[in-house]
């Protein structure tokens, strides 16, 4: 019965994630197409950075859909409602941040920094997700241990690079509600990390050795990623 529930839950979660992020990718594609077709002859550097950031975001969304479709079946999921709630809340907190009205009269240098952070964050997120591959999951689940590439540097690189994009979005929408939302979002992400580490440690015996030699979030200077995806 437990195995059947795990399979059913994974299938429903897979359908939900694919549907949601396919919708997001479709709307993002339409927005990018509209920007390109109406591209002004006097486009500024801000416009170029914004377009590149949107393209990187689209690539990230497409990879989420692709890896969700082909991901491995979970060996184990975190118990209880709280890990699932935290996973969903952390996923949608960034979307809520985008809904906050953008800052009017943002200094040009700060706007460039914000767009560069957003572009870098989404680009690195796509790169990390490529390495995570079929082990990707939004919920706290154990599938397969990935230890190469960015995962040879820290145990949770996707959270770090996503937060780079979040900081960029925050700067573009700088306000007290936005700051509070980002603090709330990062608090949730730390709880997600806790749940993920717990279920991985309970399921995969090799995780203890991996955790002992690999930092959680802050990389060591001499630690370099591998050359081929795991």
3-state helix, strand, coil in the chain (%, to 5): 70, 0, 30
In a domain, 111, yes or no: yes
| Three-state secondary structure of 4-24 | HHHHHHHHHHHHHHHHHHHHH
Q: Residue 229 is encoded by which pair of tokens? A: 């995806």
Closest by CA position to 80, among listed 199, 179, 170: 199
So what's the pLDDT on residue 212? 94
Question: For residue 118, what are the domain limits?
Answer: 2-213
In a domain, 220, yes or no: no
Task: Report how many domains make up the chain.
Answer: 1
For the chain, list the strands marked E by DSSP: 76-77, 141-142
47-83 pLDDT per residue, tens:
888 889 889 888 988 988 888 888 888 888 888 889 8
In a domain, 180, yes or no: yes
Q: Find the CATH number of the domain harbouring 32.
A: 1.20.120.1630
In a domain, 105, yes or no: yes
So what's the pLDDT on residue 197? 95
Cα–Cα distances in Å, from 130 out to 134, 148, 158, 202?
9, 12, 11, 25
Give CA 80 to chain center in angstroms: 23
Give CA 22 to chain center in angstroms: 15
Decide: helix, strand or coil at residue 206: coil
197-211 pLDDT per residue, tens:
999 999 999 999 999
User: Model pTM greater than 0.95?
Assistant: no
| Separation of alpha carbons 106 and 47, rounded Å | 15
User: Which residues, at least 6 apart from 139, have a Cβ–Cβ distance to it below 8 Å?
Assistant: 13, 77, 78, 83, 84, 87
So what's the pLDDT on residue 57? 86
């Amino acid at each position: 019965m437990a195995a059947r529930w795990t399979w059913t839950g994974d299938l429903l979660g897979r359908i939900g994630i694919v549907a949601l992020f396919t919708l997001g990718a479709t709307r993002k594609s339409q927005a990018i197409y509209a920007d390109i077709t109406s591209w002004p002859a006097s486009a500024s550097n801000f416009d170029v950075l914004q377009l590149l950031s949107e393209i990187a975001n689209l690539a990230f969304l497409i990879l989420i859909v692709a890896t969700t479709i082909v991901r491995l079946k979970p060996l184990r999921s975190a118990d209880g409602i709280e890990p699932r709630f935290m996973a969903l809340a952390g996923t949608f907190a960034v979307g809520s941040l985008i809904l906050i009205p953008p800052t009017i009269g943002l200094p040009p240098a700060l706007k460039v920094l914000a767009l560069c952070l957003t572009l870098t964050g989404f680009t690195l997120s796509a790169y990390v997700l490529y390495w995570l591959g079929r082990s990707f999951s939004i919920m706290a689940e154990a599938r397969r241990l990935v230890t190469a590439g960015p995962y040879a540097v820290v145990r949770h690189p996707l959270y770090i690079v996503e937060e780079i994009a979040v900081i960029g979005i925050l700067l573009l929408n700088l306000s007290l509600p936005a700051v509070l939302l980002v603090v709330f979002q990062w608090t949730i992400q730390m709880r997600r990390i806790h749940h993920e580490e717990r279920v991985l440690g309970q399921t995969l015996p090799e995780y203890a050795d991996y955790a002992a030699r690999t930092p959680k979030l802050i990389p060591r200077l001499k630690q370099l990623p591998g050359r081929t995806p795991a």
